[in-house]
């Protein structure tokens, strides 16, 4: 988990849906937008995100799974590991906030006419405060990338605004945890890297018990 | 679910007169309000395109036909939705300019050393990369980047500066959040989100420094609309 690939220099050639981030921001799609109209590149981007699934409810269900994971990690695993000091305080605070995200996403999915996923069973490979915090860093940073990666394919502006207000909290959690364990609070430098669903699953998937 | 902050921002077909060129210029005008600004941004199809290019892109105080012609001819190939995005990008650029200047002055004042000093330098460098990215994005959309504003910041002690930085970064994060739902282009949105969470990371880091909450809004970050943000930065404009 410590090799989480977040230590890239800014504007490094990270893949963002097949486009490097540098070109993503400064050249590629925006240039295409300027030349052909942003409407012309929108379908390309939507297609890139289409792997996320069918519509907003589907995207929110993916987010809900991650929030279940984070909430369970802080509230259940945190107690098992036996934390102290700042780690304990963060686990309590962040666990409560992730639980609020679970509640909000569940309600939003229902509002959209979807069926919220059931809470999965999780298995967390953390046995000490230090391994707990290392995993917390991975989870929070993955959460940031997951929301940032999925958000542009949300159709509802209201859902987008809500996702934005959640991802900002994930980023704050990530920074606080990273500072606590002596890592950079800005592992992606100036631009947080959006993650694809596959990248998120590579990090989170092994923590979810198969039904 | 946090309530949508954007209900009143629905684009309107109301036709608007051309606005003064830059965001900062608009900011100092008493009649500026975000609703009008965003109506302007959102109703590109309803009004003359040239007026929008002028309003959205200009940092030049001169609004002669020749100044307007260059961005207009470039942008005329872009979809009309990009004019609203240009306005938002230039607004963000103005904020990033101020943040970059602020960190530059803090670093120059030599108030911080060691780990904290290194973080402050990192943050300043990152804000500078935001400036470059936003400028590039404005240009790629066929607009003219907003001019760099002159900032003025009270810088007296490490404690005071850290507190101010915490305030500024929280404001920056809420400003990006307040615009997310107004951005039309998925590419621009993706870029804004990538910056938004970095502002949040800065804010949380500074929160630990000043012993304040890393999540002052609780589980759901609050957005700030344009008029709130512009009013808040007014004291920092020279």
The answer to whether the CB atoms of A192 and B193 lie below 8 A apart is: yes
Return the closest-CA partner of residue A25 out of B141, B199, B180. B141
The yes-or-no verdict on residue B31 having pLDDT over 60 is no
Q: Is B212 on the interface with A (CB under 8 A)?
A: no
The yes-or-no verdict on residue B20 having pLDDT over 90 is no
Q: How far is A90 from chain B (nearest CA, A)?
A: 10
Q: Which residue has the tokens 């939003």?
A: A108
Angstrom distances, CA of residue B18 to CA of A98, B9, B57:
45, 19, 12
Per-residue H/E/C for B5-55: CCHHHCCCCCCCCCCCCCHHHHHHCCCCCHHHHHHHHHCHHHCCHHHHHHH
Q: How far is B138 from chain A (nearest CA, A)?
A: 9
Distance CA B11, CA B36 (A): 10
B59: confidence class by pLDDT, cuts 50, 70, 90: very low
The answer to whether the CB atoms of B195 and A190 lie below 8 A apart is: yes
The answer to whether the CB atoms of B129 and A189 lie below 8 A apart is: yes
Mean residue pLDDT across chain B:
76
Q: Is B6 on the interface with A (CB under 8 A)?
A: yes
Q: Is A47 left (phi over 0), alpha (psi -120 to 50) or beta?
A: alpha
Q: Is B222 on the interface with A (CB under 8 A)?
A: yes
Q: Is A158 on the interface with B (CB under 8 A)?
A: yes
The yes-or-no verdict on residue B62 having pLDDT over 50 is no
Do A109 and A60 contact (CB within 8 A), yes or no? yes
Residues in B 57-96 with any Cβ partner in A closer than 8 A: 74-75, 77-79, 81-82, 85
Q: Considering CB atoms only, which of A37, A144, A161 is closest to B79?
A: A37
For residue B184, give the chain A residue with the closest CA: A38
- Three-class DSSP category at A147: helix
B208: confidence class by pLDDT, cuts 50, 70, 90: very high
Q: What is the pLDDT along chain A (211 residues), one digit of tens a residue?
A: 333 233 322 222 233 333 334 333 333 333 333 333 333 333 334 333 343 446 999 999 999 999 999 999 999 999 999 999 999 999 999 999 999 999 999 999 999 999 999 999 999 999 999 999 999 999 999 999 999 999 999 999 999 999 999 999 999 999 999 999 999 999 999 999 999 999 999 999 999 998 6
Q: Is B160 on the interface with A (CB under 8 A)?
A: no
The yes-or-no verdict on residue B77 having pLDDT over 80 is no
The yes-or-no verdict on residue B50 having pLDDT over 70 is no
B28: confidence class by pLDDT, cuts 50, 70, 90: very low
Q: Supply the pLDDT for residue B83.
A: 77
pLDDT digits (tens, 9 = 90+) for B80-137: 566 799 999 999 999 999 999 999 999 999 999 999 999 999 999 999 999 999 999 9
Distance CA A32, CA A38 (A): 7
For residue A30, give the chain B residue with the closest CA: B140
Q: Supply the pLDDT for residue B223.
A: 98
Return the closest-CA partner of residue A132 out of A82, A205, A93. A82
For residue A18 the two structure tokens come to: 């097949």
Q: Is the pTM of this model over 0.90?
A: no
Residues in A 23-42 with any Cβ partner in B closer than 8 A: 24-27, 29-31, 33-42
B22: confidence class by pLDDT, cuts 50, 70, 90: low
The answer to whether the CB atoms of B126 and A31 lie below 8 A apart is: no
- pLDDT mean over B173-177: 98
Q: Supply the pLDDT for residue A110.
A: 96
Do B167 and B73 contact (CB within 8 A), yes or no? no
Q: Supply the pLDDT for residue B231.
A: 96
Question: In this predicted model, which residue has the larger pLDDT, B213 or A12?
Answer: B213
Residues in A 85-114 with any Cβ partner in B closer than 8 A: 93, 96-98, 100-101, 104-105, 107-108, 111
pLDDT digits (tens, 9 = 90+) for B33-44: 444 444 443 333
Beta strands, E only, chain A: 15-16, 19-20
Q: Is B4 on the interface with A (CB under 8 A)?
A: yes
Cα of B83 vs its chain's centroid, Å: 15
């Amino acid at each position: 988990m410590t090799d989480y690939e977040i230590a890239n220099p800014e504007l490094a050639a990270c893949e963002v849906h097949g486009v490097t981030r540098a070109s993503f921001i400064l050249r590629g799609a925006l240039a295409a937008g300027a030349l052909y109209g942003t409407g012309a590149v929108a379908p390309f981007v939507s297609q890139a995100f289409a792997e996320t699934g069918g519509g907003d409810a589907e995207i929110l269900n993916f987010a809900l799974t991650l929030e279940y994971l984070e909430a369970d990690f802080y509230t259940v695993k945190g107690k098992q590991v036996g934390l102290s000091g700042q780690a304990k305080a963060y686990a309590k605070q962040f666990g409560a906030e992730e639980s609020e995200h679970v509640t909000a996403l569940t309600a939003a999915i229902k509002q959209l006419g979807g069926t919220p996923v059931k809470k999965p069973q999780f298995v967390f490979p953390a046995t000490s405060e230090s391994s707990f915090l290392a995993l917390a860093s991975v989870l929070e940073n993955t959460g940031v990338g997951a929301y940032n990666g999925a958000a542009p394919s949300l159709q509802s502006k209201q859902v987008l605004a809500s996702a934005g207000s959640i991802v900002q909290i994930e980023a704050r959690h990530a920074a606080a945890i990273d500072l606590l364990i002596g890592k950079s609070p800005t592992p992606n430098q100036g631009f947080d890297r959006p993650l694809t669903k596959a990248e998120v699953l590579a990090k989170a998937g092994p923590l979810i018990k198969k039904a | 679910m946090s309530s949508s902050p954007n209900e009143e921002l629905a684009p309107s077909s109301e036709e608007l007169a051309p606005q003064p060129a830059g965001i900062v210029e608009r900011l100092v005008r008493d009649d500026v309000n975000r609703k009008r600004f965003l109506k302007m941004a959102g109703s590109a199809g309803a009004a003359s395109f040239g007026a929008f290019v002028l309003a959205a892109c200009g940092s030049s105080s001169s609004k002669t036909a020749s100044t307007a012609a260059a961005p207009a001819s470039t942008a005329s190939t872009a979809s009309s939705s990009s004019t609203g995005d240009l306005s938002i990008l230039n607004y963000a650029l103005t904020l990033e300019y101020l943040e970059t200047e602020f960190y530059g002055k803090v670093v120059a004042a030599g108030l911080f050393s060691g780990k904290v000093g290194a973080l402050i330098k990192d943050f300043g460098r990152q804000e500078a990369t935001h400036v470059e990215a936003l400028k590039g994005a404005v240009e790629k959309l066929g607009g003219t980047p907003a001019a760099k504003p002159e900032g003025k910041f009270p810088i007296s002690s490490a404690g005071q500066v850290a507190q101010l930085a915490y305030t500024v970064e929280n404001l920056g994060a809420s400003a990006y959040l307040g615009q997310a739902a107004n951005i039309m282009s998925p590419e621009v949105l993706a870029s804004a989100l990538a910056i938004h969470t970095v502002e949040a990371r800065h804010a949380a880091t500074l929160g630990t420094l000043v012993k304040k909450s890393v999540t002052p809004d609780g589980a759901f970050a609050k957005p700030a609309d344009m008029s709130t943000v512009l009013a808040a930065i007014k004291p920092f404009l020279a």
